[in-house]
């Protein structure tokens, strides 16, 4: 469903080959943008999504990037600017979980989640900030999580990284607003993707029991909010964390 008009805009999205990122890529391309997205390990899936978008008259380009590698992330943003001519928006969506209670969480599992979910966002924001400041316009949307606000047993690494995104979002919002670059964070609750498909039906039922809407989100229910933060319609909003969680955290 088309909501906002992004005709002619150039957007960069990390982790666009499945789940929430795929929904963001499909939506923004349908809304008229030239979408540059990263994939990590599924080239066939990325190519299939790009082909479908092109067949429908849209523009999508996928590049292989590991967001925990600063050089690769910088190379991705440089490619977006050189091929797209500009960068109107950056969506930091790529993320992983490596859950475990703290007594059993290895330093490696701590570090890899921080590297991917927090440092990866820092690398992309740093690379995109310069062209956006030069253009005197740009939008950055970070995909956080309500566990970054509330914490979650078994997710010390993940919730710390997502809490870090809150500080990163607000600091960059303050640094960049005078250049017309706005930075916001979308914090989903439970979304039906590969990330949550590992949970048993009992675990899901227990989780849904605490959600006022009694269900998880579909990925496009996150993508539509991301699209809003990239659109002219959100022109007086920066530094905000918007929970998209069926009422779970309030
Ligand atoms: N699914 C949920 O319930 C939920 C809830 C809150 C927040 N989120 C967040 O939403 C975002 C997307 O999650 P999802 O549910 O679609 O998960 P997913 O596992 O389906 O997709 C994650 C994406 O990140 C990419 N990725 C992982 N590691 C990467 C790396 N090192 N370099 C580049 N790309 C990498 C994957 O290739 C994939 O495209 C994540 O940041 C996640 O933390 C998800």
| pLDDT tens per residue, range 160-191 | 999 999 999 999 999 999 999 999 999 999 99
Q: How far is CA 189 from the centre of its chain?
A: 14
232 CA to centre of ligand 1 in angstroms: 26
For residues 192-213, average pLDDT: 93
- Confidence (pLDDT) at 92: 99
**pLDDT tens digits for 231-240?**
999 999 999 9
Task: Tell whether ligand 1 has an atom less than 6 A from the beta carbon of residue 194.
Answer: yes
Extract the tokens encoding 84: 């797209």
Q: Is residue 164 part of a domain?
A: yes
For residues 98-111, average pLDDT: 98
Q: Is residue 1 part of a domain?
A: no
For residues 203-219, average pLDDT: 95
Task: Tell whether ligand 1 has an atom less than 6 A from the beta carbon of residue 156.
Answer: no
Task: Supply φ then ψ for residue 135, to 5 degrees.
Answer: -70, -20
> pTM of the prediction?
0.98
Task: Tell whether ligand 1 has an atom less than 6 A from the beta carbon of residue 95.
Answer: yes
SS3 94: coil
Q: Nearest-5° angle of CA 47, CA 48, CA 53?
A: 95
CATH number at residue 73: 3.40.50.720
From atom 21 of ligand 1, which residue's Cα is the shortest distance away?
19
Which has the closest alpha carbon to 185: 235, 229, 119?
229
Task: Tell whether ligand 1 has an atom less than 6 A from the beta carbon of residue 116.
Answer: yes
Q: Which listed residue (39, 158, 207, 236) is catalytic?
A: 158
Q: Is residue 119 part of a domain?
A: yes
Task: Tell whether ligand 1 has an atom less than 6 A from the beta carbon of residue 38.
Answer: yes
How sure is the predictor about 198, in pLDDT bands with cuts at 50, 70 and 90? Answer: confident
Q: Is residue 20 part of a domain?
A: yes
Please count the residues of the chain: 250
130 CA to centre of ligand 1 in angstroms: 26
Q: Is residue 109 part of a domain?
A: yes
Extract the tokens encoding 101: 């209670």
236 in catalytic set:
no
178 CA to centre of ligand 1 in angstroms: 31
For residues 56-72, average pLDDT: 98
Index of the ligand 1 atom closest to the CA of residue 16: 39
User: Does residue 1 register a pLDDT over 90?
Assistant: no
Ligand 1, pocket-test mutation among 48, 94, 116, most atoms within 8 A of CB: 94
Q: Is residue 54 part of a domain?
A: yes
- Strand order of the β-sheet with 241-244 is 59-64, 34-39, 10-13, 89-92, 138-143, 181-188, 241-244
Extract the tokens encoding 143: 């995909």
Residues 6+ positions from 88 with CB-CB distance below 8 Å: 6, 9, 10, 11, 33, 137, 138, 139, 230
Residues 6+ positions from 185 with CB-CB distance below 8 Å: 141, 142, 143, 144, 165, 166, 169, 240, 241, 242
Q: Is residue 99 part of a domain?
A: yes
Q: Is residue 44 part of a domain?
A: yes
Rounded Cα–Cα distance for residues 27 and 24 (Å) = 5
Name the average pLDDT for the chain: 97
User: Does residue 150 register a pLDDT over 80?
Assistant: yes
For 125, the domain range is 10-189+222-244
- The runs of H, that is alpha helices, within the chain are 19-30, 43-55, 70-84, 107-114, 120-135, 147-150, 156-176, 194-197, 201-209, 219-230
How many distinct structural domains can be found in the chain?
1
């Amino acid at each position: 469903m088309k909501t906002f008009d992004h005709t002619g805009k150039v957007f960069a999205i990390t982790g666009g080959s499945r789940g929430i990122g795929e929904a963001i890529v499909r939506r923004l391309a349908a809304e008229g943008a030239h979408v540059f997205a990263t994939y990590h390990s599924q080239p066939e899936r990325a190519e299939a999504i790009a082909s479908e978008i092109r067949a429908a008259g849209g523009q999508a380009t996928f590049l292989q990037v590991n967001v925990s590698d600063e050089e690769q992330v910088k190379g991705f943003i440089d490619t977006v600017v050189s091929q797209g001519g500009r960068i109107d928006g950056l969506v930091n969506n790529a993320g992983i979980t490596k859950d475990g209670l703290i007594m059993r969480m290895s330093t490696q599992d701590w570090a890899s989640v921080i590297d991917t979910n927090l440092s990866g966002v820092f690398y992309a924001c740093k690379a995109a900030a310069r062209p956006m400041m030069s253009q005197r316009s740009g939008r950055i949307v970070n995909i956080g999580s309500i566990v970054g606000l509330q914490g979650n047993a078994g997710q010390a690494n993940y919730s710390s990284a997502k809490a870090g995104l809150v500080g990163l979002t607000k600091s960059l919002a303050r640094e960049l607003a005078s250049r017309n670059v706005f930075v916001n964070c979308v914090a989903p609750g439970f979304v039906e993707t590969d990330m949550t498909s590992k949970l048993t039906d009992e675990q899901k039922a227990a989780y849904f029991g605490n959600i006022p809407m009694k269900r998880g989100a579909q990925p496009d229910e996150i993508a539509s909010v991301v699209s809003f933060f990239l659109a002219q319609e959100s022109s007086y909003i920066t530094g905000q964390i918007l929970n998209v969680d069926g009422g779970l955290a309030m």
